[in-house]
Amino acid sequence: MNRAIEVEAISKKYELGRQKSGSLGETLRHTFKRDKIKDDTEFWALKDISFQVNEGEAVGIIGRNGAGKSTLLKILSRITYPTSGNIKLFGRVSSLLEVGTGFHPELSGRENIYLNGTILGMRRSEVKAKFEEIVEFSGVSKFIDTPIKHYSSGMKVRLAFAVAAHLEPEILIIDEVLAVGDFDFQKKCLGKMQQVAGEGRTVLFVSHNMEAVQKLTSSCVYLVEGRLNCMSDTKSVIGRYLQRSESGLNSTYYNRVGSSDIYMKEIKVARGFAGVEHSWGNELTVEFDIVINRETKGACLSFQIVNAENVNVGYYWLYASDYDFGAREGEIKIKCVIPEAKLFEGKYWITTWLSDRSGLRLIENLDRICSFDFHINNIVHDEYPWAPSDATYLDKANWVFEGSSPITIKMPRLRQ
Amino acid sequence: MDKKHFTLISSSRPWWKIDLKEFLDYRDLFLVLTYKDIRVRYAQTFLGLAWVVVQPIVTLFIFTLIFGKAINVDTGGVPYPIFALAGMSAWNYFAFVMAQSGGSIIGAQDMVKKIYFPRLVLPLSKAIVGLVDFVVALVLLGVVMLYYQQPFSSNVGFVFVFFLFNFFCSLAMGVWLSALTIRFRDFQHVVPFMVQIGLYASPIAYPSSMVPEKWQLYYYLNPMAGIVEGMRWSLIGGVELSHYSYISFGITVLLFITGVLYFHRTERIIADIV
């Protein structure tokens, strides 16, 4: 079988603070004091990664946040370069780190299709040949000559994806942030990608959505802290990933090297016992320390509480229409206080989403971070032992005996 | 099956090795981006292209009042507005392209962080967009010359040669500045400053012969000094070009080569530091 991708001993080093663009004065100061700031600012995002992908294979790249997935993705798509090592790609490559790159609001849908298509590496003649198909796929044919600033955000996503879906590279590198837009459309997109994989194209798919990885890929590369943990068939790698991420509790997430316009520097699940052991009906707080590198009007923040079965049991949000927190640069601390958390016994994580509603961008998605336990020992329920399948959440309820002298019993009863 | 496309991503790439073939592969992107820039520039402006005309006319008016009437510079018998316009045609192109190219990478940072393409496409497309301004300036000059019944010089064929110098000089500055701005944001503030200084440090409103002989050598270190004089000489004639202008042309070539190389070196770390 032919090789499509050969990754040979790739490493990537970031020098925190120094490499960021700054003012001239800062750089001059650093140049003179070079030795002082050398050691603690070095950070290896990837260390010695090697693997091969054969032609026609669909391979997933998985790992927890900060494991180096996106750095590897950026190197494979030539956005950034490795500090050492080589990668050989045999065939025409398209990489999709977002849809709608380069879209300009003043231009019409038609013009944006050409713009986005050529940015993605298509020839103008190719775009022209597929133009009708793209327009049809997007479902916005009526507005194709209207400037896209008049489009709804849904229409823009459709148009953007329609272009991306019509790329015909031999190697396709896709990022999970493509999971924007409504659910039906996501399914359509996943279907289209599956079709691509089925046609004998090589696909690299970076994600922490295990369901999508399972559907799309046959084998997976698993990264842990910038190193290759294993590469094997998807099922066993996912098993390993889940196993590893479920040992030990850590209610804090910390990231000091965010690169996006807005990123989470720190997230902490607080209250309870040391933030990790919580009791039913008590206050639960989730504290966010958000760094806004560039003002982003229309920033939306939401998070889900996810249980061990990977079911989202709670959803909390603060959208720009409620409070435009991203409108000013700087670092902000926001606390979401849930006065009475009524989760059932079990282990939970949170999944956070930072997006830019007006720009249609998913800025940051942190999946299953901040693990914590919920207990219901404080509830009187001695007759039957609790079973994990009993519920996903427990609510308060009043039991009322009707009649001439009604009695109300408030449930559940709490232990003193 | 035809020969497979092959890409090597390597940590070690010689800094002087520029992949021209790849650049050609991206010519369609270059064309579409240029089209976009031109479209966007005039979209939603009520007067559209008229802005390209209004701005030089206002400058010309001020120059005519100050240098033509008040100071009364020696134009060698040519009506002052024609003299100034001929110089401005080269300078306005330079100022536009330097500013636009210089900010092109920073301005496209969202794109640069998400997809690969030869980054040089960005400043280069701005140099093409500036052609609109240059052509408009020439038309404007033609109209004014018609009004004054002033014929074009017999050197007019050289316009093309000096425009090439003008093009490479503007692009060189743009390429230098776009790469420098990525590393040091300070350079964003340098551009307007350079445009302002350069307008008076180049022979636009006055002839270079007004500069004392002992300063001429240093004066022509400004590449636009020779280019503006050259452009004016080919459009309306006048005294032969000073032999010092070769300094300007030499500097242009030097700036362009070093600019492209520096850009090429910085290109690899753009996404990391933008």
Query: How far apart (Å, rounded) are the C-alpha atoms in residues A70 and A58?
Result: 18
Q: Which of A34 and A128 is assigned the larger pLDDT?
A: A128
How confident is the model over B11-26, as pLDDT tens digits?
A: 887 777 778 888 888 9
Q: Considering the domain boundaries, does residue B82 fall inside one?
A: yes
CA end-to-end span of chain B: 41
B-interface mutation test, from A11, A41, A77, A80, most B Cβ less than 10 A away? A80
Residue-wise pLDDT tens digits, A74-122: 999 999 999 999 999 998 888 888 778 889 998 999 999 999 999 998 9
| CB environment B39-58: b (16+ within 10 A), e (fewer) | eebeeeeeeeeeebbeebee
Give the tens place of pLDDT for each residue, A208-263.
Answer: 667 778 878 899 999 988 899 899 999 898 888 776 655 466 778 888 777 778 89
Mean of pLDDT values over A361-387: 83
pLDDT value of position B243: 87
| Total structural domains within chain B | 1
Is residue A331 scored above 50 in pLDDT? yes
Distances A322 to A299, A302, A317, B21 between C-alpha atoms, Å: 10, 12, 9, 51
Cβ-proximal residues to B40 (8 Å cutoff; 6+ apart), any chain: A104, A106, A107
Q: Which of A87, A120, A122 sits opposite B115 (nearest CB)?
A: A120
Q: What is the mean pLDDT of chain A?
A: 84
pLDDT at A179 over 60: no
Q: What does each C-alpha distance from A101 to A84, A117, A359, A360, B115 come to in angstroms?
A: 29, 9, 11, 11, 8
DSSP-assigned letter for residue A341: -
Confidence at A25, pLDDT banded by 50, 70, 90: low
Percent of chain A beyond pLDDT 90? 37
B11–A93 CB contact, under 8 Å: no
Pick from B8, B31, B113: which is nearest to A86 by CB? B8
The confidence score (pLDDT) of residue B74 equals 83
This prediction has a pTM of 0.74
Using DSSP's 3-state secondary structure scheme, residue A58 falls into strand
- Per-residue model confidence (pLDDT) at position A352: 93
3-state SS of chain B: helix, strand, coil percent to 5? 70, 0, 25
Distance, in angstroms, between B5 CA and closest chain A CA?
4
Question: Sorting pLDDT into bands at 50, 70 and 90, what band is A187?
Answer: low
Tokens standing for A82? Answer: 């490795």
B177, part of any domain: yes
pLDDT at A310: 85
34-93 in chain A: CB under 8 A from chain B: 74-93
Whether B18 maps to a domain, the answer reads no
> Which positions in chain B touch A109 (Cβ < 8 Å)?
none
Name chain B contacts of A73, Cβ cutoff 8 Å.
Answer: none
Q: How high is the pLDDT of residue A17?
A: 57
Checking if the pLDDT of A20 tops 60, the result is no
Contacts of A19 in chain B (CB under 8 A): 269, 272-273
Q: Which residues of B touch A27 (CB under 8 A)?
A: 183-184
Is residue B23 assigned to a domain?
no
How many angstroms separate the CA atoms of A326 and A26, rounded?
27
- Contact (Cβ atoms closer than 8 angstroms) between residue A394 and residue A377: no
Alpha carbons B5 and B7: distance in angstroms, whole number: 7
The closest CB to that of A75, out of B9, B112, B182, belongs to B9
Q: Residue A415 in 3-state DSSP? A: coil
Query: How confident is the model over B152-172, as a mean pLDDT?
Result: 94
User: A-B interface: how many C-beta pairs under 8 angstroms?
Assistant: 124
What is residue A302's predicted lDDT score, i.e. its pLDDT?
93
Chain B residue set in contact with A, beta carbons under 8 Å: 4-11, 13, 28-29, 31-33, 35-36, 39-40, 43-44, 108, 110-117, 182-186, 268-269, 271-274
Cβ-in-10-Å burial (0-12, 13-18, 19+) of A247 comes to exposed
Average pLDDT over residues A168-187: 69
Helix (H) or strand (E) holding A339: none
What residues of chain A, 250 to 289, have a C-beta less than 8 Å from chain B?
none
Report strand pairing: A299-307 vs A3-15: unpaired
Q: Do A106 and B40 touch (CB under 8 A)?
A: yes
A361-375 and A277-279 beta bridge pairing: parallel
Nearest one of A167, A218, A217, A162 to A189, comparing CA atoms? A162
Contacts of A145 in chain B (CB under 8 A): none
Residue contact B31–A114, C-beta within 8 A? no
Contact: B29, A118; criterion CB under 8 Å: yes
- Cβ-based neighbours of B262, under 8 Å, separated by 6 or more: B175, B176, B179
A31 close contact with B: CB closer than 8 A: no
Residues 352-411 of A with CB under 8 A from B: none
Q: Report whether B169 contacts B94 (CB < 8 A).
A: yes
Predicted pLDDT of residue A126: 92
The whole-angstrom separation of Cα A206 and Cα A63 is 9
Instruction: Please indicate, yes or no, if residue B184 is contained in any of the structural domains.
Output: yes
The string of pLDDT tens digits covering residues B215-248 is: 999 999 999 999 999 999 999 988 888 889 999 9
Among candidates A77, A84, A102 on the partner chain, residue whose Cβ is nearest the Cβ of B116: A77
Which residue of B lies nearest to A363 if distances are taken between CA atoms?
B110
A90 interaction partners in chain B (CB closer than 8 Å): 4-6
- Inter-chain contact B116–A22, Cβ cutoff 8 Å? no
**A-chain residue closest to B10, CA distance:** A86
B240-262 pLDDT, tens per residue?
A: 888 899 999 999 999 999 999 99
Q: Which of B11, B36, B44 shows the shortest C-beta gap to A83?
A: B11
> What's the confidence (pLDDT) of residue A30?
60
Q: Are A190 and A214 spatial neighbours (Cβ–Cβ below 8 Å)?
A: no
> A64-100 in b/e burial notation, b at 16+ Cβ within 10 A?
bbbbbbbbbbbbbbbbbbbbbbbbbbbbbbbbbbbbb
For residue B241, give the DSSP letter.
P
How far lies A163's CA from each of A192, A244, A368, A404, B105, in Å?
A: 12, 38, 31, 70, 24
State the pairing for strand pair A252-254/A262-270. Answer: antiparallel
Nearest-CB residue to A119 (from B5, B117, B272)? B117
Position B192 in a domain: yes
Q: Which residue range is the domain that position B60 belongs to? A: 48-273
